[in-house]
Amino acid sequence: MFAAEAALSAFLEAVFTKFLSPQLWSYARFLEVDSTFEEWRKTLLGIEAVLNDAEEKHIREKGVKVWLDDLKALAYDMEDVLDEFDTEAKQPKPMGGPQITMTKVQKLIPTCCSSSGSGALILNENMNRTIKRITKELEAIAKRKFDLPLREDVRGLSNATERKLQTTSSVDGSGIYGRDSDKGKIIELLLSDETTRDSKISVIPIVGMGGIGKTTLAQMIYNDERVKNHFEMGIWACVSDQFDVTRITKAVLESVTKTSYDIKNLELLQDSLKNELKGKKFFLVLDDVWNENYHNWDVLQVPFKVGAQGSAIIVTTRNEEVAYLMSTLPSHHLGELSSEECWLLFAQHAFANINSDVRRSLEPIGRKIARKCKGLPLAAKTLGGLLRRVEFFHL
């Protein structure tokens, strides 16, 4: 009775995250499908402009529900294709070495491709057919939105970093499931002297797709008593949209001093920050980083270098390239929640005001919906929050 497609925005976030992979685009250009993937991305941008309104109306508008069902099914197909390309793009390719037999060559050819007579890789027939089908169906879905009573939100989901609330270090630990192991591993690393053996300040990236819970994990670590006791100073800065060195430096300085500044001169900001950090063992979280420009990072970290040996920085990002650019230690990749953990999180948001008898009767369908969240905490919370407003749940 209740549609899991109400959390489709969270799933599309995962698809957009795939488009951030440089390896995927390089491999797509090699196989001459990059223009098609770019068409997919642009079409999805147009679709997501009405997605917020569609999620609000799908319960009472049957046509909107069908449209969301079709879009969700196609989004899964797109994600499968992008996953296959991204996986193959990251596989090491043979370089030189002894002659390889044809049987071994065939084993090296990815499932999405086949070898032409000249030895070049081309899309195999099945993958080519799948890509053409997705393109055709995506165009049809994009056109159908004009026949539905949907209002555009010009901000769109892809610009979520510009419109979402700034993250803070505060966290409600009672609403978190399945992250104790991740938290323990990173804290163990932070408290170890091994982290700064090769560098004065350690940088540990937390990497994962949108909605996977990177910020929540960083908040848990930031507020842990062991971390607070180990470092002299805790600092939190939400980076999000543009990697503006001046703005971020100002945010870090304000977090350190608990004072608002109206300074716009980078040199003055950096000098002030150096004075605050000099000789201090600090712990800094840079949340939601998208920067792939090494020079920007190199300039930003100048004041950090005056801190004491053993200082540490956690960076949360969706992009492995960003993590590689900034890290001094291996990235911590954050995975999906288990089915049970996802259900507990979903239930917490969906059934908060429901008596135990009603909750028991709704649990089977609730678990079914929670499974559709595919282990994404944001999807579980979003869908649970939406269903909480539905009158049926208050009968």
Same domain, 371 and 237: no
Same domain, 254 and 322: yes
Does residue 365 sit within a domain? yes
Interval 19-54: pLDDT, tens: 777 778 878 888 888 889 989 988 888 887 788 777
Q: Hey, CA dihedral for 182, 183, 188, 193, is it positive or negative?
A: positive
Same domain, 279 and 355: no
CB-based contact 203:190 (threshold 8 Å): no
Task: Give me the residue label for tokens 């994404």.
Answer: 376
| Cα 259 to Cα 261: distance, rounded to the nearest angstrom | 7
Listed in sequence order, the residues at least 6 apart from 155 whose beta carbon sits closer than 8 Å to its beta carbon are: 162, 163
Does residue 98 sit within a domain? no
- Mean pLDDT on 129-137: 92
User: Can you give the pLDDT at residue 302?
Assistant: 96
Same domain, 306 and 220: yes
Does residue 51 sit within a domain? yes
Q: Closest Cα to residue 207, out of 317, 304, 297?
A: 317
Burial degree of 309 (CB within 10 A; 0-12, 13-18, 19+): exposed
Could you say which of 307, 333, 359 is where a domain stops?
A: 333
Share of the chain above pLDDT 90, in %: 35
CB-based contact 8:70 (threshold 8 Å): no
CB-based contact 290:320 (threshold 8 Å): no
User: Can you give the pLDDT at residue 196?
Assistant: 64
Q: How many domains does the chain have?
A: 3
Structure tokens at 165: 């609330």
Its pTM stands at 0.64
Identity of the highest mean pLDDT range in 133-147, 163-177, 371-385? 133-147
Output phi, psi for 221, to 5 deg: -65, -45
Does residue 317 sit within a domain? yes
Does residue 101 sit within a domain? no
CATH of the domain at 304: 3.40.50.300
Same domain, 67 and 152: yes
The DSSP letter of residue 329 is S
Strand 121-123 with 113-115, pairing = antiparallel
Same domain, 131 and 252: no
- Single-letter residue type at 351: F
Same domain, 24 and 127: yes
Q: 53: domain range?
A: 4-93+106-160
Position 98 pLDDT exceeds 50: no
Could you say which of 133, 160, 187 is where a domain stops?
A: 160
| Cα 298 to Cα 374: distance, rounded to the nearest angstrom | 37
| Cα 142 to Cα 46: distance, rounded to the nearest angstrom | 7
Position 297 pLDDT exceeds 50: yes
* Range from 27-31, 51-55, 275-279, 300-304 carrying the lowest mean pLDDT: 51-55
- Mean pLDDT on 287-316: 93
Position 194 pLDDT exceeds 50: yes
Q: Closest Cα to residue 255, out of 370, 167, 123?
A: 167
Does residue 74 sit within a domain? yes
| Cα 267 to Cα 287: distance, rounded to the nearest angstrom | 23
Same domain, 146 and 206: no
pLDDT band at 115 (very low <50, low <70, confident <90, very high): low
Does residue 199 sit within a domain? yes
User: Can you give the pLDDT at residue 351?
Assistant: 80
Strand 312-317 with 202-207, pairing = parallel
CB-based contact 348:341 (threshold 8 Å): no
User: Can you give the pLDDT at residue 120?
Assistant: 47
Same domain, 285 and 251: yes
| Cα 290 to Cα 296: distance, rounded to the nearest angstrom | 11
- Mean pLDDT on 164-169: 76
User: Can you give the pLDDT at residue 198?
Assistant: 67
- Mean pLDDT on 114-133: 69
User: Can you give the pLDDT at residue 2?
Assistant: 39
Position 166 pLDDT exceeds 60: yes
CB-based contact 190:281 (threshold 8 Å): no
Same domain, 311 and 346: no
Structure tokens at 388: 């909480």
Higher-pLDDT residue of 85 and 226 is 226
Position 116 pLDDT exceeds 80: no
What is the overall mean pLDDT for the chain?
A: 80
Position 394 pLDDT exceeds 60: no
Exposure string for 276-299, b = 16+ CB within 10 A, e = fewer: bbeeebbbbbbbbbebbeeebbee
Could you say which of 135, 160, 185 is where a domain stops?
A: 160
pLDDT band at 375 (very low <50, low <70, confident <90, very high): confident
DSSP 247-282: HHHHHHHHHHHT-------HHHHHHHHHHHHTT--E
Please name every residue paired with 313 in a beta bridge, in sequence order, or none if there are none: 203, 284
User: Can you give the pLDDT at residue 31?
Assistant: 83
For residue 106, the SS3 value is helix
Position 349 pLDDT exceeds 80: yes
Same domain, 264 and 188: yes
| Cα 178 to Cα 94: distance, rounded to the nearest angstrom | 39
Share of the chain above pLDDT 70, in %: 80
Does residue 260 sit within a domain? yes
CA 233 → CA 41, 173, 279, 283, distances in Å?
42, 21, 11, 6
| Cα 188 to Cα 338: distance, rounded to the nearest angstrom | 23
User: Can you give the pLDDT at residue 80?
Assistant: 86
Q: Closest Cα to residue 237, out of 228, 226, 222, 248?
A: 248
Same domain, 315 and 372: no
